[in-house]
Chains A and B, each alone.
Chain A
C-alpha cells in the first residue's frame, strides 16, 4: 500500500514535470518565433531579400527527421505494450536518425558555403539567418539527443515502468516539437527564398 502511495505521489510529481517540459517547449517556440520575426523585419528593408535556392540536402534532412519522429512514436508504442526489445530497437534507430539529421544539416552548410557562395558573414544578413535558424535548431537537436540517451539508458537498465514511460514521454514531446519546428523553419525559408 505504501508502494502504491509513493507511486501515486511520483505520478503527481512526474505530471508536473511533464507539464514543465511543455512550458519549455513554449519558450523554445518563442525563440524561433523571435528569430523568424527578426528575419521578416530585416529582409523587409530594401535590397535584403534572401535570394538563395535552398539546397536539396534540406529535403533529405526533412525526410530523415520525419522518419525519426515515426520511429520514436513506434518506440513509445512498444514501451506502452511492454515490448521492451522493440522499444530499445526503435529508440536506437531514432538516435541514429537524429545523428544523420545532424550530419545532413552540416553537409547543407558545406554546400551553402563552398558551392553556392552563401556565406555566414556578408552584407546581406538575410543569408546569415539561414545559418542562425539551422544552427539554433541543431543546438536543440543536440539537447534532444541527450534526452533521448536518458530514455535509452532507462530502457536498458530496466527502470520501473512508470519512469520508463515518463522518460519516453519527455523525449517524445521534445523530439516531435523539434521535428515540427524544423518543418516550420524549412517552409519559412522556402517561402522567403526569393
Chain B
C-alpha cells in the first residue's frame, strides 16, 4: 500500500517537470500568470490601490462635512467642475459617497480580501499545486481588473459617477435623467459590476472546487486551518448570493434601457409624468439585500479566518474551540440568507414579517458571539507575541465587538424605525464590517507578507500604522453613534445647516481631522509595503514558527509549490505549546510517531492502531518514571 503511494508521488514530480516545458516570459509570469501565488499578489496590489482611491474619496467628502461653508481653491484646481468655487458640489458629494461605498465593499473587501487570501492560502494550506482551473482563476483576476478600471473611469464622464448610494436603489438608478449621476455614471457602474460579479463567480467556483477536490493526503476537512474553512464558506456564500444580484440588476437594466416597469411607478420627473406604471422599488430592495446581507458576511468571514489563524499562532496556543469555530462559520453562512429583511424594516413591511426577520437577525448574533468568545479565550493566558499582524488581529476582534453590539439594537424593528438611515447605522457597519474587515486584511498582509514577497515588513512602521489606524478609526466612527441617536440622517450634503443639528459641526470637524490622521497612517503602510518588497529583510522559511503547510514550501516560489512530492498531513493546524513537546509548535506534516512524548489520547480518536501504540508507550514510560 505505502510503496504504491510513494510511487505515485515520484511520478507526480515527473509530471511537474513535464509541465515546465513552456518558457517563462515576462508576460506569462507577471501579467497573464496562471500561478495562484502571482494572482494573489495581483489581487492584493489592485485591492490596495482601490483602497487608497476609496480612502481619498472619503477624505474629500469629510472635508465638505466639516467645512460646509468654506471654500478651498485647491479643490477646484484638483476637481474642476466637480468643485466649483472650491466647494464640492452636492451632486459630486453624492457620487463620492456612492463610489467610496462601492469600492470599499466590493473592490477592496470582497475581491481584494478574498481574492488575495483565497488564492494565496487555499492551495498552499491544503497542499495543492494550484487551483482547480488556473486559467479561469487568471480570468477572474482580469475581470476584476477591468471592473476596477471601469469603476474608476466613471470619474471621467461629464456628469460624474453614479450617485444613488452603493445600494443603487431605483428610481435614482433606473431613470437616467433622475440626477446627474444617474446617467452615464450609472451605466458605467452597472457595466463594472457585471464584470465584477463574473470575476467573483469564477473565483468562487474555483475556490470551492479546489478545497473539495484537491486536498493533499491526510488533509481531511477537519484538519483544515480556519482560514481555509472561512474562505471556503465565503466562496459558497458568494456563489449563492451573487446570482441573485444579477437577477436584480438584469431587471434594473431592463427598466433603465428598455422601458419596462419592474421597479418604477407613478413618477413625475421635472414636472412630466413618466409612462412607468405598476413597478415596485421594494422588489429591488428584496433582491439587493438577499445578496447584500450575505455580502457583508462575505466580507467579514475571511477576516475572521485570518484573525483566528494569526491569533492562535501568536498566542502560541491552539485556537479555542476549533469545532465551534467551524460550526459557527457554517451557522453564519446558513443564517445570513434569512435575515435580509432587517434592512427593510421601514419599507412598510408587514409587521409580522418584520418580527420574523427580527428573530432571525438576533439569532445570527449567537454564532457571531461564539466566535468572539473563542478569540478571547484563545488569547487568555497565551504566550502572546505582539507582532504587527497580531495587533491587527486583536484590533479586528475589538472592532467586531464594538460594532456587533450595535447590530443587536438595529436588529430590533422597533428601535430600527428610529435608527434606520441615520449615522447610527453608519457607525455600526463601519466598525463591524469596515474596520474589522480591514484590520483582518491587514493582519493577513503583515502575517503572510514573507510568504508572498520573501521579505519581512518593518515592525516599527507596522506598530505606528496599527496604533494610528486603531485610534483613528475609533475616533472617526464612535462619535457617529451619538449623531445617529440624535436623528442625524446619513448621506446628507450639509446637515449642519439645519439649526437643530448645527451643534454637530464641531464633532464633524473632529471626525474629519481624525480621518486625516488615519489617512496619513496609511502612508506609513504604503511606504512599508513597497519598501519591504524590494529592500526588506530576507525572511526565513517559517518566520512565525507556524504549523500550517504554506510554511513548508521553499522560500523561493516555484510553480507547483512543493518540489517533489506533496506533503502529507497528520494532524490539525493548532498544535501550539503542546505539553510534552520540545518545541512550542508541531507542524501538520509531523507524524505522531515522531512526537510520542506529547501525544494525547484524543489525537487517536479515529485511529485505533495509533491508540494502541500510544497506550503501550505511556505504559512503558509510566513504569520508568521515578515515583514521586
Query: Which residues of A line the B interface, CB within 8 A?
Result: 1-2, 5-6, 8-9, 12-13, 15-17, 19-20, 23-24, 26-28, 30-31, 33-35, 37-38, 41-42, 45, 47-48, 120-125, 128, 132, 136
Contact = CB atoms under 8 A, between A and B. Distances in A.
A5 B7 CA distance: 10
A130 to B, nearest CB: 12
A92 B156 CA distance: 49
Interface in B238-269: 239-244, 246-248, 250-251, 254, 258-262
B213 A35 contact: no
A128 B251 CA distance: 10
Given A16-B213, A132-B250, A34 B15 contact: no
A16 B133 CA distance: 8
Contact of B250 (A12, A45, A48, A136): A136
Contacts of A27: 201, 205, 239-240, 242-243
B260 A48 contact: no
Nearest to A139: B250
Contacts of B201: 24, 27
Given A5-B11, A16-B213, A125-B260, A38 B251 contact: yes
A155 B60 CA distance: 60
Contact of A1 (B11, B254, B282, B283): B11
A1 B11 CA distance: 9
B350 to A, nearest CB: 11
B213 A19 contact: yes
A149 to B, nearest CB: 19
State the majority secondary structure of interface residues on A. Answer: helix
Contacts of A136: 250
10 smallest CB-CB distances across A and B, nearest first, come from A123-B277, A34-B247, A16-B132, A5-B11, A30-B243, A16-B213, A34-B244, A31-B243, A20-B209, A123-B278
B616 interface: no
Interface string B27-69: 0000000000000000000000000000000000000000000
6 contacts: A23-B209, A24-B201, A26-B240, A34-B247, A42-B283, A128-B260
A48 B265 CA distance: 13
B132 A17 contact: yes
Contacts of A123: 261, 276-278
Contact of B283 (A12, A28, A41): A41
Interface in B200-218: 201, 204-206, 208-210, 212-214
A5 B12 contact: yes
B70 interface: no
B280 interface: yes
B213 A12 contact: yes
Contacts of B239: 23, 26-27, 30
B133 A128 contact: no
Contacts of A38: 247-248, 251, 262, 283, 286-287
A30 B240 contact: yes
